[in-house]
Amino acid sequence: MRLVSLNTWKAEGDYPRRVHAMVGGLAALSADAIALQEDLRSADGLTHTALALARALRMHLSWVPARPKLRTVGLRRTPTTSGLAVLSRQPLLEQRVLVLPQDARDGERLAQCVRLPGPAGDWWLVNLHLTHLSDRADLRREQLAAALAAMDGADPARPVVLCGDLNAGPEDEELAGFLREGRLIDAFAGRTKATHVDAAGHARNLDHILLRRPAGGRTLAAEPVGVVLDRPDARGVRPSDHSGVCADLCFPESGSPLAA
């Protein structure tokens, strides 16, 4: 099962050309599941990043609106949401939406939890975009803990993959604690990667694919493919201000991939 996670940067920059670049980059990867953050949708439905990608890639779409706000889309100022979406080759089996702890300065933060089928067993994908507030590392930890607790309580044995823009690196305590305790496994452990350049010009490792270590049942292994959609296309347009991350998932005891 090839999984890609990408923050799509709402409708910033040259949005129409960026969507075209995203389609090309994602099509080349032949991903089985794609988790999107900052999925821009206008209230009138005329603009919707995830829907445009799903149609172009011929994939099933599940999306969750969040963070309503007036934003500029092209030449118009219009009500929009910046939510979460999952594209999948196979229809999803179930979706749950979890409201995460939040700060009024930041607005709502959600976890999109979808259960997907695979010939070796179905599994959960938890799509996250944690708070960006620089002074709320504690809140990011609370949000990640809430998502983990929800999955532990609802389905403790089934494989769970968490991914998305966590606004934290594996060295930051809000994420490092879970890795150190063994509750989460970083698909890119031991590899250097950067997925975003901040306003100060610093390369940051903010986008992740993480495996939950289950209390029982079968676990997953991830083979990192790498940082993806990180270069301009032929027109010189980057797909987003974040690069994507990509990994192949399987059950290690059988070597069986999760999807055909």
- Write out the chain's pLDDT in tens, 260 residues: 999 999 999 999 999 999 999 999 999 999 999 999 999 999 999 999 999 999 999 999 999 999 999 999 988 999 999 999 999 999 999 999 999 999 999 989 999 999 999 767 899 999 999 999 999 999 999 999 999 999 999 889 899 999 999 999 999 999 999 999 999 999 999 999 999 999 899 999 999 999 998 777 667 899 999 999 999 988 899 999 999 999 999 876 554 444 33
Calpha distance 127→46 (Å, rounded): 24
Give the Cα separation of 232 and 204 in Å (integer): 19
Residue 149 CB partners (closer than 8 Å, separation 6+):
none
Q: Residue 165 and residue 147: Cα distance in Å, rounded?
A: 14
Rounded CA separation 260/66 (Å): 32
CA 158 to chain CA centroid, nearest Å: 19
CATH class belonging to 2-257? alpha beta
- Cα pseudo-dihedral 19, 22, 27, 33, rounded to 10: -100
Q: Would strands 221-228 and 256-257 be described as parallel, antiparallel, or unpaired? A: unpaired
Share of the chain above pLDDT 90, in %: 86
Q: Domain coordinates of the chain in residue numbers?
A: 2-257
Return the structure tokens found at 76.
Answer: 């118009």
Q: What digits encode the pLDDT tens for the residues 179-230?
A: 999 999 999 999 999 999 998 999 999 999 999 987 776 678 999 999 999 9
- The model's pLDDT over 15-31, given as tens digits with 9 standing for 90+, comes to 999 999 999 999 999 99
